[in-house]
Amino acid sequence: MKTVIRITFVAVLGAALATALAPSQPAAGTSYNTVKQKLLEGKQVFGATLTTGDVEAAKKMAESGYDYFWIEMQHSPMTYETAAALIKGLQGHPAVPFIRVPDATEGDIQKATDIGALGIIVPMVETVEKAMAAVRYAKYPPVGRRSTGSMQAPSLWGKDYRKTANDNVMVVIQIESPEGVANAEKIAAVPGVDVVFAASVDLSNFTGMEIGQPKYEDLITRIKDATLKAGKWLAGPGSWSGRKGFTFFQGRGAYKEI
Protein backbone atom coordinates (compact mmCIF):
# COMPACT_ATOMS: atom_id res chain seq x y z
CA MET A 1 0.00 0.00 0.00
CA LYS A 2 2.85 2.39 0.88
CA THR A 3 4.52 1.62 -2.45
CA VAL A 4 1.35 2.55 -4.36
CA ILE A 5 0.99 5.80 -2.42
CA ARG A 6 4.66 6.66 -3.00
CA ILE A 7 4.40 5.99 -6.75
CA THR A 8 1.22 8.05 -6.99
CA PHE A 9 2.85 10.95 -5.11
CA VAL A 10 5.90 10.89 -7.37
CA ALA A 11 3.69 10.84 -10.47
CA VAL A 12 1.62 13.78 -9.25
CA LEU A 13 4.75 15.74 -8.24
CA GLY A 14 6.33 15.05 -11.64
CA ALA A 15 3.22 16.25 -13.46
CA ALA A 16 3.14 19.41 -11.33
CA LEU A 17 6.79 20.17 -12.07
CA ALA A 18 6.29 19.56 -15.78
CA THR A 19 3.37 21.99 -15.77
CA ALA A 20 5.35 24.62 -13.85
CA LEU A 21 8.30 24.38 -16.23
CA ALA A 22 6.28 24.27 -19.45
CA PRO A 23 6.30 27.36 -21.71
CA SER A 24 3.49 29.81 -20.95
CA GLN A 25 0.56 29.32 -23.30
CA PRO A 26 -2.88 30.95 -23.44
CA ALA A 27 -5.58 29.02 -21.60
CA ALA A 28 -7.98 27.04 -23.75
CA GLY A 29 -10.32 29.31 -25.68
CA THR A 30 -8.29 32.48 -25.09
CA SER A 31 -6.00 32.44 -28.13
CA TYR A 32 -7.48 34.91 -30.62
CA ASN A 33 -4.41 36.31 -32.37
CA THR A 34 -4.60 34.21 -35.52
CA VAL A 35 -1.32 35.63 -36.81
CA LYS A 36 0.52 34.23 -33.80
CA GLN A 37 -1.29 30.92 -34.17
CA LYS A 38 -0.26 30.60 -37.81
CA LEU A 39 3.35 31.48 -37.03
CA LEU A 40 3.42 28.84 -34.29
CA GLU A 41 2.20 26.36 -36.90
CA GLY A 42 5.13 27.28 -39.14
CA LYS A 43 3.07 29.20 -41.67
CA GLN A 44 3.87 32.50 -43.39
CA VAL A 45 1.66 35.52 -42.70
CA PHE A 46 1.01 38.62 -44.81
CA GLY A 47 -0.41 42.02 -43.91
CA ALA A 48 -1.95 44.81 -45.96
CA THR A 49 -0.91 48.38 -45.18
CA LEU A 50 -3.63 50.90 -44.36
CA THR A 51 -2.93 54.63 -44.39
CA THR A 52 -6.56 55.70 -44.60
CA GLY A 53 -9.48 55.50 -42.22
CA ASP A 54 -11.84 54.45 -45.02
CA VAL A 55 -13.48 51.37 -43.47
CA GLU A 56 -15.04 50.13 -46.72
CA ALA A 57 -11.69 50.23 -48.51
CA ALA A 58 -10.10 48.49 -45.55
CA LYS A 59 -12.75 45.75 -45.60
CA LYS A 60 -11.94 44.94 -49.20
CA MET A 61 -8.27 44.59 -48.30
CA ALA A 62 -9.06 42.55 -45.18
CA GLU A 63 -11.14 40.16 -47.28
CA SER A 64 -8.41 39.68 -49.89
CA GLY A 65 -6.64 36.88 -48.06
CA TYR A 66 -4.43 38.95 -45.76
CA ASP A 67 -3.72 37.63 -42.28
CA TYR A 68 -3.47 41.05 -40.65
CA PHE A 69 -3.82 44.70 -41.53
CA TRP A 70 -0.95 47.08 -40.81
CA ILE A 71 -2.42 50.39 -39.67
CA GLU A 72 0.21 52.99 -40.53
CA MET A 73 0.61 55.69 -37.90
CA GLN A 74 4.27 56.53 -38.36
CA HIS A 75 4.02 57.88 -41.90
CA SER A 76 0.40 59.00 -42.00
CA PRO A 77 -1.72 61.72 -40.37
CA MET A 78 -4.14 59.13 -38.98
CA THR A 79 -5.30 59.73 -35.42
CA TYR A 80 -5.95 57.08 -32.77
CA GLU A 81 -9.62 57.98 -32.91
CA THR A 82 -9.65 57.12 -36.62
CA ALA A 83 -7.64 53.95 -36.00
CA ALA A 84 -10.10 52.89 -33.27
CA ALA A 85 -13.06 53.33 -35.67
CA LEU A 86 -11.17 51.36 -38.31
CA ILE A 87 -10.49 48.44 -35.97
CA LYS A 88 -14.10 48.48 -34.76
CA GLY A 89 -15.38 48.53 -38.33
CA LEU A 90 -13.24 45.54 -39.27
CA GLN A 91 -14.36 43.44 -36.31
CA GLY A 92 -15.21 39.92 -37.41
CA HIS A 93 -13.05 40.00 -40.53
CA PRO A 94 -10.32 37.36 -40.85
CA ALA A 95 -7.44 39.86 -40.80
CA VAL A 96 -6.46 41.02 -37.31
CA PRO A 97 -5.30 44.56 -36.44
CA PHE A 98 -1.66 45.58 -36.04
CA ILE A 99 -0.56 49.20 -35.63
CA ARG A 100 2.80 50.70 -36.51
CA VAL A 101 3.15 53.34 -33.83
CA PRO A 102 5.28 56.47 -34.30
CA ASP A 103 7.68 55.44 -31.53
CA ALA A 104 8.11 53.18 -28.50
CA THR A 105 6.46 55.64 -26.11
CA GLU A 106 4.02 54.77 -23.36
CA GLY A 107 1.35 57.05 -24.81
CA ASP A 108 1.52 55.66 -28.34
CA ILE A 109 1.62 52.01 -27.34
CA GLN A 110 -1.01 52.44 -24.60
CA LYS A 111 -3.49 53.96 -27.03
CA ALA A 112 -2.77 51.35 -29.71
CA THR A 113 -3.33 48.43 -27.38
CA ASP A 114 -6.36 50.00 -25.70
CA ILE A 115 -8.19 50.35 -29.02
CA GLY A 116 -7.61 46.68 -29.77
CA ALA A 117 -4.38 46.25 -31.75
CA LEU A 118 -3.07 42.70 -31.46
CA GLY A 119 0.34 43.70 -32.76
CA ILE A 120 2.54 46.69 -32.01
CA ILE A 121 5.06 47.47 -34.76
CA VAL A 122 7.84 49.76 -33.55
CA PRO A 123 10.04 51.56 -36.10
CA MET A 124 13.71 52.59 -35.92
CA VAL A 125 14.80 50.30 -33.11
CA GLU A 126 18.53 50.83 -32.66
CA THR A 127 19.02 49.97 -28.99
CA VAL A 128 18.14 47.29 -26.48
CA GLU A 129 16.52 49.99 -24.35
CA LYS A 130 14.03 50.88 -27.08
CA ALA A 131 13.13 47.22 -27.65
CA MET A 132 12.62 46.80 -23.91
CA ALA A 133 10.41 49.91 -23.80
CA ALA A 134 8.22 48.45 -26.54
CA VAL A 135 7.65 45.29 -24.50
CA ARG A 136 7.23 47.23 -21.25
CA TYR A 137 4.36 49.33 -22.54
CA ALA A 138 2.67 46.59 -24.59
CA LYS A 139 2.42 44.06 -21.76
CA TYR A 140 0.51 44.07 -18.48
CA PRO A 141 2.31 43.35 -15.17
CA PRO A 142 4.13 41.28 -14.19
CA VAL A 143 5.69 41.16 -17.68
CA GLY A 144 5.45 44.89 -18.40
CA ARG A 145 4.07 48.20 -17.16
CA ARG A 146 0.91 48.62 -19.24
CA SER A 147 -1.85 50.26 -17.22
CA THR A 148 -5.55 49.44 -17.29
CA GLY A 149 -8.35 51.82 -18.20
CA SER A 150 -11.61 52.30 -20.05
CA MET A 151 -10.95 50.93 -23.52
CA GLN A 152 -12.30 49.28 -26.65
CA ALA A 153 -10.13 46.14 -26.55
CA PRO A 154 -12.33 44.03 -24.18
CA SER A 155 -15.38 44.59 -26.39
CA LEU A 156 -13.38 43.10 -29.26
CA TRP A 157 -11.44 40.32 -27.56
CA GLY A 158 -13.58 39.31 -24.57
CA LYS A 159 -14.29 40.16 -20.97
CA ASP A 160 -11.15 38.29 -19.82
CA TYR A 161 -8.96 40.52 -22.00
CA ARG A 162 -6.80 41.62 -19.06
CA LYS A 163 -5.89 37.97 -18.41
CA THR A 164 -5.32 37.02 -22.04
CA ALA A 165 -3.74 40.11 -23.58
CA ASN A 166 -0.12 39.27 -22.77
CA ASP A 167 -0.41 36.01 -24.70
CA ASN A 168 -2.07 37.64 -27.70
CA VAL A 169 -0.56 41.11 -28.20
CA MET A 170 2.62 40.75 -30.26
CA VAL A 171 5.63 43.06 -30.33
CA VAL A 172 7.27 43.59 -33.74
CA ILE A 173 10.44 45.67 -33.78
CA GLN A 174 11.99 47.09 -36.94
CA ILE A 175 15.72 47.30 -37.60
CA GLU A 176 16.24 49.99 -40.22
CA SER A 177 19.73 51.43 -39.76
CA PRO A 178 23.38 50.40 -39.40
CA GLU A 179 23.14 51.21 -35.68
CA GLY A 180 20.24 48.79 -35.35
CA VAL A 181 22.12 46.09 -37.25
CA ALA A 182 25.15 46.55 -34.99
CA ASN A 183 22.92 45.76 -31.98
CA ALA A 184 20.78 43.13 -33.72
CA GLU A 185 21.89 40.22 -31.55
CA LYS A 186 21.06 42.01 -28.29
CA ILE A 187 17.83 43.52 -29.64
CA ALA A 188 16.49 40.20 -30.93
CA ALA A 189 17.26 38.54 -27.59
CA VAL A 190 15.04 40.93 -25.60
CA PRO A 191 12.32 38.86 -23.85
CA GLY A 192 8.85 39.74 -25.11
CA VAL A 193 9.95 40.70 -28.62
CA ASP A 194 8.10 38.34 -30.96
CA VAL A 195 9.16 39.46 -34.43
CA VAL A 196 12.18 41.28 -35.85
CA PHE A 197 11.51 43.12 -39.11
CA ALA A 198 14.39 43.76 -41.52
CA ALA A 199 13.17 47.06 -42.98
CA SER A 200 14.52 46.77 -46.51
CA VAL A 201 13.78 50.24 -47.91
CA ASP A 202 15.00 52.30 -44.97
CA LEU A 203 18.05 50.10 -44.53
CA SER A 204 18.91 51.12 -48.08
CA ASN A 205 17.99 54.73 -47.28
CA PHE A 206 20.31 54.94 -44.28
CA THR A 207 23.24 53.09 -45.85
CA GLY A 208 23.09 54.26 -49.46
CA MET A 209 23.28 50.63 -50.52
CA GLU A 210 20.93 48.91 -52.92
CA ILE A 211 19.08 45.67 -52.23
CA GLY A 212 21.13 42.86 -53.67
CA GLN A 213 24.52 44.47 -53.21
CA PRO A 214 26.88 42.22 -51.21
CA LYS A 215 27.39 44.66 -48.31
CA TYR A 216 23.64 45.28 -48.08
CA GLU A 217 22.92 41.56 -48.06
CA ASP A 218 25.52 41.10 -45.33
CA LEU A 219 23.45 43.45 -43.13
CA ILE A 220 20.27 41.48 -43.83
CA THR A 221 22.07 38.22 -43.06
CA ARG A 222 23.20 39.60 -39.72
CA ILE A 223 19.62 40.55 -38.81
CA LYS A 224 18.41 37.15 -39.98
CA ASP A 225 21.02 35.17 -38.04
CA ALA A 226 20.46 37.18 -34.85
CA THR A 227 16.68 36.80 -35.06
CA LEU A 228 16.63 33.08 -35.71
CA LYS A 229 19.30 32.43 -33.08
CA ALA A 230 17.08 34.20 -30.54
CA GLY A 231 14.13 32.01 -31.55
CA LYS A 232 12.10 34.93 -32.87
CA TRP A 233 10.15 35.24 -36.12
CA LEU A 234 11.83 37.09 -38.98
CA ALA A 235 9.92 39.68 -41.00
CA GLY A 236 10.40 41.60 -44.21
CA PRO A 237 8.62 42.98 -47.28
CA GLY A 238 6.21 40.72 -49.13
CA SER A 239 8.57 40.47 -52.09
CA TRP A 240 10.95 38.53 -49.82
CA SER A 241 8.50 35.67 -49.22
CA GLY A 242 10.88 33.34 -51.05
CA ARG A 243 13.81 34.14 -48.79
CA LYS A 244 14.74 31.38 -46.38
CA GLY A 245 13.94 32.08 -42.74
CA PHE A 246 11.38 34.85 -43.33
CA THR A 247 7.80 34.12 -42.21
CA PHE A 248 6.14 37.50 -41.43
CA PHE A 249 5.55 39.91 -44.32
CA GLN A 250 4.20 43.34 -45.04
CA GLY A 251 2.22 42.81 -48.22
CA ARG A 252 2.07 45.62 -50.72
CA GLY A 253 -1.70 45.98 -50.78
CA ALA A 254 -2.32 49.40 -52.30
CA TYR A 255 0.84 50.85 -50.80
CA LYS A 256 4.62 50.48 -50.97
CA GLU A 257 6.50 48.06 -48.83
CA ILE A 258 8.61 49.40 -45.98
Among candidate residues 75, 88, 136, 222, the one labeled active-site is 75
Counting other chains too, the contacts that 244-249 makes at CB distance below 8 Å and 24 or more residues apart are 246/44, 247/39, 247/42, 247/43, 247/44, 247/45, 248/35, 248/39, 248/44, 248/45, 248/172, 248/195, 248/197, 249/44, 249/45, 249/46, 249/47
Largest separation between any pair of C-alpha atoms in the chain: 77
Active site residue 93: no
Nearest alpha carbon to residue 71 among 63, 83, 57: 83
233: which DSSP letter? E
Nearest alpha carbon to residue 104 among 211, 209, 187: 187
With vertex at residue 33, the alpha carbon angle to CA 236 and CA 86, rounded to the nearest 5 degrees, is 80
Per the CB < 8 A criterion, the answer to whether 90 and 97 are in contact is yes
Per the CB < 8 A criterion, the answer to whether 139 and 191 are in contact is no
With vertex at residue 188, the alpha carbon angle to CA 230 and CA 247, rounded to the nearest 5 degrees, is 75
Burial of 245 (0-12, 13-18, 19+ CB in 10 A): middle
| Pairwise CA distance, residues 238 & 255, whole Å | 12
User: Is the backbone peptide bond immediately before 142 cis, with ω within 30 degrees of 0?
Assistant: yes
User: Which residues belong to the active site?
Assistant: 75
